[in-house]
Structure 1
Amino acid sequence: MSYRGLFIGINRFQDPQISDLGGAVRDAQTLAALFEDSVDTLAVTELHDEHATHDAIMTALENHLANVTEDDTVILSFSGHGTPGHRLVAHDTRVNDQPGTTIDMQVLSDLFRASRARRILFLLDCCFSGGASAKVIAGPATRQMLNFEQFAGEGRVLIAASDPSSPAYEHPGGGHGFLTQAFIDALLSGTGPRDVFEVVADVQARVREASARHHLTQEPTASAFSQGGFTLPSFVKGARYHLLHPTRDRAPVTADFADLASHGLPVSVTDAWRARFPTGLNALQQRAVNEYGVLDGQSLLVIAPTSSGKTFIGELAAVRGVLAGRKAVFLVPYRALANEKYEDFKAVYGAQLGLRVALCTGDHQDDVSDFVRGKYDLAFLTYEMFLQLAVGTEGTLERIGTIVLDEAQFVADPSRGIVVELLLTHLRSARERGVTPQLLALSAVIGDVNAFDEWLGVRTLLTTERPVPLELGVLDRTGMYEYVSPDGTRGTTNLLEPHQVRQRREKASSQDVIVPLVRQLLMDDPTEQVLIFRNTKGSATGAAKYLAAELGLPPATATLQALPRHDLSGTSHDLRAALGGGAAFHTANLTRDERVIVERAFRDAGGEVRVLTATTTVAAGVNTPARTVIVVEHEFVGGEKRPFTVAEMRNMMGRAGRLGFNESGRAIILADTPWERTRLLQQYVLAEPEGLRSSFQGADLGTWLLRLLAQVKRVPATELPGLLVNTYGGFLLARQQPDWAAGAHAAVASLVEEMLRLDLLEEEDGLVRLTLLGRACGASSLSFASSKRLIRMFKQGELRGDTTLGLLTATQVTSELDNIYTPMQKRGTFETKWGALAARNLGADVGRALQRHAEDTWAFHARCKRSLVLRDWMNGVAMADLESTYKTNAFIVMDAGSIRGIADATRFHLRSVHALASALLVTGDLDAEAFDRELTRLEFGLPEEALGLLELPLRLDRGEMLALHARAGSTLEQLRGWSLTDLQSVLGEVRGLQLHAVLQNAA
């Protein structure tokens, strides 16, 4: 007797409307491996993804059912999507043409009935019908349910994942379908040949049990007919199975990437890693694999210094998961960091290895649609975007196998900590329903872990060693440098001679030390690159300019030529001045393109830019390492004036030392006096970093409760304090004060009463849940206080939700926008003009709305100023004109960073305001498409007539789009008629040629 096997698994689908799956291919591969390992006479055919087209599947089915003899046993499996109309979905199925592009079960029934094969076993792991789930796509249902008896014959067995009207599911994270996993377990549980009916009963019981553990209901259906018995052979895990599922009993990996083959990583991947990291896996990464099981799905908290290689530990786990059929996401604090990592991964994993890399940061060109449909392998998201999608989009978390949370110490950040803690709380809560993605939380060196790992339920991998040793010290104005060497030895030396430090201006300043120090560093080492941290945008810009003027470095010609040439801000001109002397700066005043150009120039060891000044955000993961780091100030200024924490200072100092370029790094803090030098050494060099803590504050209890309720469907009112205990902050409070939760009942009860009055909550039979309005507030970026304010103002008619201007105004009256930095002079009368201008240009009703709940007259005028800035920005007013119009004086400047910061913050919170207004039913005729256009205008600073330029096949910056728009070219059709000369006259020789080429190709 001969066996023939056809195993079909489809994860990826061409039609963008069909969600991708995670485990279907793995279903087919594992079943094929088991049968091939266990049945000597089996001839195996596999069809996966792009090879599993409609025609290919039909041809394979005909070959395995029609072209057989009476001595053949046929094993078939299909894992993928099914439709409510009882059709199987192929890789090339089109939702709009299901009859012509899906596999008709009636055709399959006819093939079964006509087949001469003695025995046929068909495992069908997809939905026959039912609602939205992991394995069903929408389509017309049919009244006639599939008649399983159509498959009758001598030895015909059909095992279907669900009944004809129910969904079928995959294990969360993309392992196997419930049915396939149960079938595999059943096959391997026997010690000899087993009757197929016994196996069927075993499979059904296993599926029911597994789905119940995940709070789901799945009832597999079987139809079997046999004359003379149908037994299955004894199954074993052989060589092919172990290639797919490597055992944990393996030799430890060394630095050699080739060792990772035992973990199922192919040569194509390890070769790509070897090209990036020629020295191989470092000691920390080897420990993560060998001792902590990071490639076996174990979750970890990794605490290690900058440049220690901890990010690659997350990369190892993510890629291993993707190759096993799971999705992986990387969560980062800033959009700039997400963009940088996305571009890096696209080059390595997209271009070289064919993986799909997605980006979701809230921008116009995001891959959100692909992300929620699972059409990605690796994705980068900001904390806020991930929390929004994980809580608000059903099935998002279930698709993910690996989550890498970068900069986990942000859980303690006063403004961002709540988001990090809530998303981690959401992950912990998901475990109760069987959703357990691997979590890699990565953090720079901190002090006491403070039970953070215990709360997460993970092990901690901690190291303080750096691949590039780091010397830390403090330099005072006498030139004396006191330091601690990498081996812990303390010493002092004259880094500068006293005569080198001279007063350059009317008053002594940091410039007196910075200039001779950088000059000395560059003289001592021809490969030296210096990164200087300043605490304001202005001081970073000024330092780069005076260093360029005094150091005598050659101009960064290639970098200058790469800069954008349109819509230049004052900062753009400052950057050109700095680059003319071989220096640069990195601040929020630069455009995204300018920042990327500066980062690339500075990363080029031995390149044109040897000195970079920057604000502190560069310390949070942006790849700008240097041989030497200089930290000038010791405190934050602006809205929050406070000393840097030890952790913050160490993060900046940790940017020193380039792996592969420098044998060591050096970080220097500047001090004024010898006494201050000693104090700063004790405060920042010798002291231990602060321990982790939660950003949870009692004053924000309403916000926390509202957002936690958004993560659950309903909960007994008596258990609401338990939601708070589930957070990291609540966990710590409960440890310190065991009766804390009981004491919180009164405060929670009062909040519940208030939320009931506001129609945010509804109660039934002792259970409370958020209303639609409550969910809009709970899923939003707004505090409870801001949500309450907007609800009252919308209900009382003080705000309009049916116009874009009304929603923009509503956003400005929130506490979130009141706290955004708005350059204002609080002396004199200059700034009082903005109220009258807002009333005249935006309407008296807008002026009155902006007055509501303003803390003082300056807060009101700041709202008016922001509103006017936004109007001009969205209408395409040139950046230089915006800076000029809204400048107060030489010291209080509405610079490009402030303008974009106001626009970005408004855009971010505007989504929440719109959702709240929609839930209150006050948005009128303002449809979703019109609202999305306004969000796009906010992002790019374009008038509506110019939005067509965003569809061009070449990404243009704001200045280029405004320049084209000014020449009456705002659509693809219009620009195709332009000559190369016309395009170059607007965009310049290089960019004009690029656009002309893509326009010709698009034609």
Structure 2
Amino acid sequence: MAIKAIFVGINKHLDASIPELSGARRDATALWALFTDTIDGLSARLLLDEAAAHADVTQAILGILMDAQPDDVIVISFAGHGSPDGNLVVFDTDPANLAGTAVSMADLAEAFKATKARAVLCILDCCFSGQAPARVIETVARPRNAFALAGVYGEGRILLAACAANESAWEQPGTGHGLLTHAIIEAWTGCSGPSVSFPEIAGEIIRIARVEAERICVTQTPVFLGSVQGGLVFPTLKRGDNYAATFPVQAIRQMSGAFPEFAAHGFPLEVVEQWTADFPEGLNALQLRAVNEFGVLAGGSLLVVAPTSSGKTMIGELAAIQAIISGKKAAFLLPYRALVNEKFEEFSARYAATGLRVVRCSGDATDGIGPVLAGRYDLGFFTYETFLNLSLGSPRLLNQLGLVVVDEGQFITDPHRGITVELIFSLLLRARQLGIQPQLVVLSAVIGNLNSFDRWLDVPLLVSRERPVPLIEGVLDRRGTFQYIDTDGTTKTEELLPARRIVQRRDKPSSQDVIVPLAQQLVGQGEKLLVFRNMRGPAQGCAKYLAKELGLGPAAAVLAVLPTQDLTAASQDLRECLAGGTAFHNTNLLRAEREAVEKGYRRPDGGIHALVATTTLAAGINTPASTVVLAENKFVGEDGRQFTVAEYKNMAGRAGRLGFNETGKAIILAETPMERAQLFQRYVMGVPEDVTSSFQQRDLPTWTLRLLSQVRGVRESEIPGLLVNTFGGYSASRANPQWITLVERDVAELITRLLQAGLAEREGDLIHLTLLGRACGASSLSFESGLRLVELMAQLDVARTPPFHMLALIQVLDEMDAVYTPVMRRGQSESVRSADAGQRFGQQMVQALQRYCRDQFEFWARCKRAALLYDWIEGTTVDVLEKRYSTTPFAGAISYGNIIGIADATRFHLRSAHQIVSTLLPDQPEFLQGLDEILQRLEFGLPSAVMPLTKLTVPLTRGQCLALASIGVNDAAALNTLDDDCLRDCVGTAVVAMLRPLADVVSDP
């Protein structure tokens, strides 16, 4: 008897609309390796991805069947997508032409009948059921062609299919195989005897698959059909050399730290060469410990706590490339869009030559959400909120991930963002119960007592206090005395500035008196200075007076790339600063301006010697300063709270960047010697605060609703257990064993409210969230805000309400009331804002804006935001907006930072509201489509007619779009009406060269 085999596995497809799989290629490769290791003289072919095109697969399968002899046994295995009408989807299948480009089961049935082979075993790890989120592509709904499958089995023909006709074929998290293939491997290799036979082994395969399906909460029952007279016997499969080479057992690798060593472990040469060029010193001590002691390259999860600039990100990068090499996907989660954009650009450039597919998802129109949901990427960068929303909406995302890197993990303690970070961790922990166990690498700045944070995550802990670049930390008073901790750990005092140089420069003493001579001294010594200010205004003012005082040359390269249209009041300030070799960085700058400043500051020859920034720059953006100065030690706002020690350490850690400086220096400014001593003890000698959850008892409804959205159904008595799965609940229950009992009454009251509001329903003894409840639970809104939105929508006559009115309605939510809106609080001058809102939205919306108000100032702030947003999406220029909505130059003044902050916050929460409204109004597609457009217009700040310009392959700024629109150009087709000079006036010289080909293509008959 001769055994011949064809193994086909297809993860990737030529057509971008076909979702990418993660385990099909692995399925085929594993079966090929096991068969070739076990059966001597086996004639086998392995067709994977690009090698499994229609012609290749058809020729291979039909050929092996046609050439078979009467004693031959043929094994044909296919892992990939099936289609609802009974076709096997191959690499080059066109979903619009399945009949001509997919492998027809009817054709296979004819070949199975015609072959002379004694027996044929056909393994299909795909499915044909429609609308399945697994191994099926969606087409126009048609019944399954049962006659085609019937022809595949019969006497001498055995069909082992992944699932019944009304089920889906799922990929199993953890093993990386389809459920059927996993069951085949387990049953076929687990037999104690020398051989297995069909149909006897089929029962064990079906049992294993069903059990594993139940474990991941799905239903899948493999189907065994056909028979062979006398049975069909195969040897028990063995894992041999081929299997070991294809699926090596990962061990903790011992590395010396030199990057060329990685080439011997399968890392692409292009990656190794790039790392060697970027990091010529190789791995540092922290990174080596992560590899050698904690097995981060062997799939080991890890919590890394280390100072800023210690090289933590590289640990995640190493693990990501290893995961991708292993055929898995990796995700980096970051707190801010700016960080997502920076890392996306950095990694895209670094790995361009390797073919690595990098995407970003941060809530912008340029996001790669489509490729992520289709699995057509290798490495993704996500903001926390975007990742959580995508994971809840598409569980398939977690199934495909081999690695999740949570950067800036200390954000779990943040009172505003902590809930999102904690829910991500809770989601990952709960996924482990279903066998979904991506490697987890958490990177955190130095924090205090962990409070068992690592135990809750169930990951080992790597702590380091060392920095590759030593840091001097100290406090400088107005007498010029600097008290500091030296790099050797000793406390010292020295005269950093001669007292005579510190003179009062204004009508009263200010930080400027110290910052100017300090900057003159440090910049004069060739240092790059980073000054942190706690407000946007002082940051701009500081950069301006430093530009005047330092006498530096202009940062010409940065000035040359700044945008020229739709400028803000801060834009002129920035140009004045850059002309004197300084810059500032805050939200008053346009995005293009901030990016130009960041890149210019990073470049050794960028011409920016001193950068003044607000505290948000401390959150990870690469800024190679030699010295950091903190002019204040408290935030400005309603609470006016002092910086935490952790916040200070993060800002101080910006000083001294590897590859730029040998030693960093962090300086806090103090008024008097007494304050110097106090700040030295509090911050320099201080220990960062303990890790705590942001969970508060008052937030129990919101947390419970969010957690319920992560499960399919749960008994009411089990809901407190869900809360224990959070870090807050875990900590509370450890501190008080009676905590669960204490929250049971609150949970019972909450369930009653959920049922009454239509957010949940009972099914037997289970509590399920309704579609509306899941939309609320997966949103960014609190429980109370979700209910408020549902109530407001119920009172709205949607048929007579334009979608843009939602801009006003969203302002009524607590989340938007929390967005800082400058309002003049003296007199009645802001009362005109209600008239502004009424003019744009009508009196019905003004009445809605009065709902749930605490005072008249909150009402005016809502009206101000609503009217401003209307003007923003209508294309009103920023300078006009700043003047129109500023009551005085000081109190109630609106700057670009306020405008974009309000627009971004509204867009973020409107996206959540969109999900809720879609559930409430399934029969209002036009209204929902209108909301989609409003979301896009909020991002770009443009009227509907101008939005086609945002679809160009050349990205244009808001100012460039408005300039083109002002001369009647709203789309690519109109570009060919402009001469080069006119186009240059609108978009600048650099963009003209990129836009002109687009016009030529459009105008070409």
- Considering the TM-score relative to the shorter chain, is it more than 0.5? yes
| 1:532-582 superposed Cα distances (whole Å, 9 cap, x missing partner) | 111111111111111111111110111101011111111111111111011
Deviates more, 1:571-580 or 1:763-772: 763-772
Deviates more, 1:875-884 or 1:4-13: 4-13
**Matched residues in 2 for 1:646 and 1:93: separation?**
58
User: Counterpart of 1:292?
Assistant: 294
User: Counterpart of 1:842?
Assistant: 841
SS at 2:353's partner residue? Answer: coil
**Matched residues in 1 for 2:321 and 2:83: separation?**
31
**Matched residues in 2 for 1:195 and 1:217: separation?**
27
SS at 1:870's partner residue? Answer: helix
**Matched residues in 1 for 2:705 and 2:236: separation?**
55
**Matched residues in 2 for 1:367 and 1:567: separation?**
28
Matched, 1:807 2:815: no
Q: Offset at 1:12?
A: 1.5
In structure 1, give the amino acid aligned to 2:976.
R
User: Counterpart of 2:311?
Assistant: 309
**Matched residues in 2 for 1:491 and 1:793: separation?**
62
CA contact (8 A) 1:530 1:629 kept: yes
| 1:727-754 superposed Cα distances (whole Å, 9 cap, x missing partner) | 1111111111111110112222222223
SS at 2:595's partner residue? Answer: helix
User: Counterpart of 1:321?
Assistant: 323
**Matched residues in 2 for 1:512 and 1:923: separation?**
65
After superposition, the Cα gap between the structure-2 partners of 1:165 and 1:545, relative to the gap in structure 1 and judged at 3 Å, is same
User: Counterpart of 2:445?
Assistant: 444
**Matched residues in 2 for 1:824 and 1:478: separation?**
39
Matched, 1:281 2:283: yes
Uncovered stretches (5+) of structure 1, i.e. residues with no partner: none
SS at 1:483's partner residue? Answer: strand
CA contact (8 A) 1:6 1:60 kept: yes
Q: Offset at 1:335?
A: 0.8
CA contact (8 A) 1:172 1:434 kept: yes
User: Counterpart of 1:106?
Assistant: 106
CA contact (8 A) 1:801 1:914 kept: no
| 1:749-781 superposed Cα distances (whole Å, 9 cap, x missing partner) | 222223333222323433322233322322221
**Matched residues in 1 for 2:580 and 2:923: separation?**
54
After superposition, the Cα gap between the structure-2 partners of 1:125 and 1:981, relative to the gap in structure 1 and judged at 3 Å, is same
CA contact (8 A) 2:253 2:297 kept: no
**Matched residues in 1 for 2:866 and 2:253: separation?**
64
Q: Offset at 1:14?
A: 3.0
Q: Offset at 1:860?
A: 1.0
User: Counterpart of 2:459?
Assistant: 458
| 1:493-549 superposed Cα distances (whole Å, 9 cap, x missing partner) | 11111111111111111111111111111222x3x2111111111111111111111
SS at 1:693's partner residue? Answer: coil
Deviates more, 1:965-974 or 1:637-646: 637-646
**Matched residues in 2 for 1:614 and 1:181: separation?**
54
Question: 5 Å matches for 1:43-62?
Answer: 43-62=43-62
Tell me how large the CA RMSD over aligned residues is.
2.4
CA contact (8 A) 1:193 1:233 kept: yes
After superposition, the Cα gap between the structure-2 partners of 1:116 and 1:918, relative to the gap in structure 1 and judged at 3 Å, is closer
Question: 5 Å matches for 1:450-849?
Answer: 450-524=451-525, 526=526, 528-797=527-796, 802-849=801-848
User: Counterpart of 1:14?
Assistant: 14
SS at 1:630's partner residue? Answer: strand
CA contact (8 A) 1:243 1:264 kept: no
CA contact (8 A) 2:252 2:298 kept: no
In structure 2, give the amino acid aligned to 1:582.
G
**Matched residues in 2 for 1:192 and 1:761: separation?**
53
Q: Offset at 1:702?
A: 1.7
SS at 1:968's partner residue? Answer: coil
Deviates more, 1:298-307 or 1:715-724: 715-724
Q: Offset at 1:966?
A: 0.6
In structure 1, give the amino acid aligned to 2:850.
Q
In structure 2, give the amino acid aligned to 1:289.
V
**Matched residues in 1 for 2:41 and 2:96: separation?**
42
Question: 5 Å matches for 1:349-498?
Answer: 349=351, 351-498=352-499
* Identical pairs, percent: 47
Q: Offset at 1:391?
A: 1.3
SS at 2:224's partner residue? Answer: strand
SS at 1:172's partner residue? Answer: coil
After superposition, the Cα gap between the structure-2 partners of 1:43 and 1:612, relative to the gap in structure 1 and judged at 3 Å, is farther
In structure 1, give the amino acid aligned to 2:407.
D
**Matched residues in 1 for 2:145 and 2:799: separation?**
51
SS at 2:524's partner residue? Answer: helix
**Matched residues in 2 for 1:690 and 1:865: separation?**
38
Task: Choose which of 199, 221, 224 in structure 1 pairs with 2:223.
Answer: 221
CA contact (8 A) 2:195 2:236 kept: yes
SS at 1:329's partner residue? Answer: strand
**Matched residues in 1 for 2:155 and 2:709: separation?**
55
**Matched residues in 2 for 1:173 and 1:250: separation?**
19
SS at 1:585's partner residue? Answer: strand
User: Counterpart of 2:936?
Assistant: 936
Question: 5 Å matches for 1:887-898?
Answer: 887-892=886-891, 893-898=893-898
Deviates more, 1:239-248 or 1:808-817: 239-248
User: Counterpart of 1:339?
Assistant: 341
- Taking structure 1 as the reference length, the TM-score comes to 0.95
**Matched residues in 2 for 1:17 and 1:495: separation?**
64
Deviates more, 1:610-619 or 1:885-894: 885-894
Q: Offset at 1:396?
A: 2.7
In structure 2, give the amino acid aligned to 1:607.
G
CA contact (8 A) 2:174 2:435 kept: no
After superposition, the Cα gap between the structure-2 partners of 1:2 and 1:918, relative to the gap in structure 1 and judged at 3 Å, is closer
**Matched residues in 2 for 1:849 and 1:539: separation?**
37
After superposition, the Cα gap between the structure-2 partners of 1:253 and 1:123, relative to the gap in structure 1 and judged at 3 Å, is farther
User: Counterpart of 2:211?
Assistant: 209
**Matched residues in 2 for 1:272 and 1:180: separation?**
38
Deviates more, 1:542-551 or 1:293-302: 293-302
Q: Offset at 1:715?
A: 1.9
Q: Offset at 1:181?
A: 2.3
After superposition, the Cα gap between the structure-2 partners of 1:792 and 1:177, relative to the gap in structure 1 and judged at 3 Å, is closer
Q: Offset at 1:405?
A: 0.9
**Matched residues in 1 for 2:950 and 2:577: separation?**
31
SS at 1:927's partner residue? Answer: helix
SS at 1:567's partner residue? Answer: coil
Deviates more, 1:981-990 or 1:36-45: 36-45
After superposition, the Cα gap between the structure-2 partners of 1:155 and 1:312, relative to the gap in structure 1 and judged at 3 Å, is farther
In structure 2, give the amino acid aligned to 1:823.
P
After superposition, the Cα gap between the structure-2 partners of 1:991 and 1:152, relative to the gap in structure 1 and judged at 3 Å, is closer
CA contact (8 A) 2:558 2:606 kept: no
In structure 2, give the amino acid aligned to 1:437.
P
**Matched residues in 1 for 2:800 and 2:242: separation?**
61
After superposition, the Cα gap between the structure-2 partners of 1:999 and 1:196, relative to the gap in structure 1 and judged at 3 Å, is farther
CA contact (8 A) 1:602 1:612 kept: yes
CA contact (8 A) 1:800 1:806 kept: no
After superposition, the Cα gap between the structure-2 partners of 1:707 and 1:465, relative to the gap in structure 1 and judged at 3 Å, is same
CA contact (8 A) 1:174 1:327 kept: no
SS at 2:332's partner residue? Answer: strand
Q: Offset at 1:784?
A: 2.0
**Matched residues in 1 for 2:728 and 2:932: separation?**
36
Q: Offset at 1:853?
A: 1.7
Uncovered stretches (5+) of structure 2, i.e. residues with no partner: none
CA contact (8 A) 1:567 1:959 kept: yes
Q: Offset at 1:193?
A: 4.3
**Matched residues in 1 for 2:348 and 2:80: separation?**
27
